[in-house]
Chain A
């Protein structure tokens, strides 16, 4: 799964993005940048606009003002028809997985490949690879309703990564899961970040998941996630963005958020 985007320009750029619903300002002049190869974790209480950021980046929603650039394309100026081609370069994992419930796991994961008229043999191989990545290669013929919550999330990750997207958007991939399953999911995200160098926006409520991502790396030889050894710069591949009342409250790395003096952030971290 090689990355085709070799440039190091920012993958996602938000410039003064504002949007309101029912006269409530959900995002107010939000600006941030996602550098190439980095994972940016979005924090905030429910309703802070975290999922909205992902949907805006995908062009599923349009902001009231401001500009959004994804992979060098100005999403806010593109027509819906043109966005479909751009979205094929982005992977999205929805909060509730959003698997097609009338299709089995194999058809869900291969959906985009079949849309692209990829030959059957190649589809089979890539579906097997993607499902092996999430360790679910035995579930090919099962339907989403026959899977557990954690398995559905992992199938959703397999569906998102099968076309080797240049950027991944994760919407609360560990929400509502037990700690063991959550750790499995986080390990997959770390693996995708470190092995395939995929840039990502991650929405989560779970601080421990975000700090695990920041303080661990994926050892390809041992095929497992390990703590970053002493002396490594563990702030380089994961950054944090905290939203509050539609505004950007904090943006920085793990060390900075852990040492922040902001009262709201201190309270958030202590929960």
Chain B
């Protein structure tokens, strides 16, 4: 079967349209009944509590390695005392949200795509519609709401744990004063840093969950199609998240410039 450029363009425009409709309805559903509160809590448990170990582990060791690397560079300029500040600013403003987002994308976007994809190819989604239940309300909105809320919480935890990792390196390996580390780490954070650190996971959570659900619900072609949807969900969520990160950062720098 041959595809012209027009066919490819139409297919992509259709995909963007379908994704936009799904993303919009996932929000609009919050304001209309029925609302699936129990499903939302169940998803929050799967996404949030389930992701906690990998977020804590990666956050802690990334904070530690960041402290090690930055201390090495800062020592050349006699700025070893700024280790805590550098770790906390880097983690809260940028690395914490992106790292946590990537971890959750790897775990949850793929999970959503494979679960919903399996339901799609085995006609369970059609069966749900046939039973008079809106899959968008029952399956998509609980996942989107819980991912957004849990990603914000996981990011805060990741930030704290990474600073603790940095502290471990600074105190036990670099022989810095613990009070100095924590006071510089804490005092360096301003309102803009916190806003940036909390707004990013909010947006990333929305991107990860809507993309995971979109690829799942558009899966075609049996188990191979589900595998393809899972891979595409991970790749697309990660790439779009990182690209969006640039724009959010630039936008927020206009409101909260570095002082």
> Which chain B residue lies CB-closest to A156?
B127
The count of chain B contact residues (Cβ–Cβ below 8 Å) is 15
Query: Using a CB-CB cutoff of 8 Å, which residues 81-112 of chain A contact chain B?
Result: 81, 84-85, 87-88, 90, 92, 94-96, 98-101, 111-112
> Which chain A residue lies CB-closest to B136?
A80
Q: In this assembly, does A131 line the interface, its C-beta being within 8 Å of a C-beta of chain B?
A: no
Query: Are B126's CB and A98's CB within 8 A?
Result: yes
Whether A112 contacts B132 in the complex (CB less than 8 A), given A94-B127, A100-B127, comes out as: yes
The 8 A CB mask of B117-155 against A (1 = contact, 0 = none) is: 011001110111111111000000000000000000000
Residues of A within 8 A of B119 (CB): 100
Query: Are A87's CB and B124's CB within 8 A?
Result: no
Query: Are A58's CB and B130's CB within 8 A?
Result: yes
State the CA gap A115–B132 with chains docked (Å).
9
Q: In this assembly, does B34 line the interface, its C-beta being within 8 Å of a C-beta of chain A?
A: yes
Query: Are A98's CB and B134's CB within 8 A?
Result: no
Query: Are B124's CB and A84's CB within 8 A?
Result: no
The 8 A CB mask of A110-143 against B (1 = contact, 0 = none) is: 0110010000000000000000000000000000
Pick the residue among B34, B124, B129, B133 that contacts A60 (CB under 8 A): B129
State the CA gap A94–B122 with chains docked (Å).
10
> Which chain A residue lies CB-closest to B137?
A84
State the CA gap A98–B132 with chains docked (Å).
15
Query: Are A87's CB and B132's CB within 8 A?
Result: yes
Pick the residue among A85, A88, A101 that contacts B124 (CB under 8 A): A101
**Listed A/B pairs (23) with beta-carbon separation below 8 Å:** A58-B129, A58-B130, A80-B134, A84-B132, A84-B133, A85-B132, A90-B130, A92-B130, A94-B123, A95-B123, A98-B123, A100-B124, A100-B128, A101-B118, A101-B122, A101-B124, A111-B133, A112-B132, A115-B34, A115-B131, A115-B132, A115-B133, A159-B131
Q: Which 8 A-B pairs have the closest CB atoms?
A: A88-B132, A98-B127, A98-B123, A92-B130, A87-B132, A84-B132, A112-B131, A94-B123
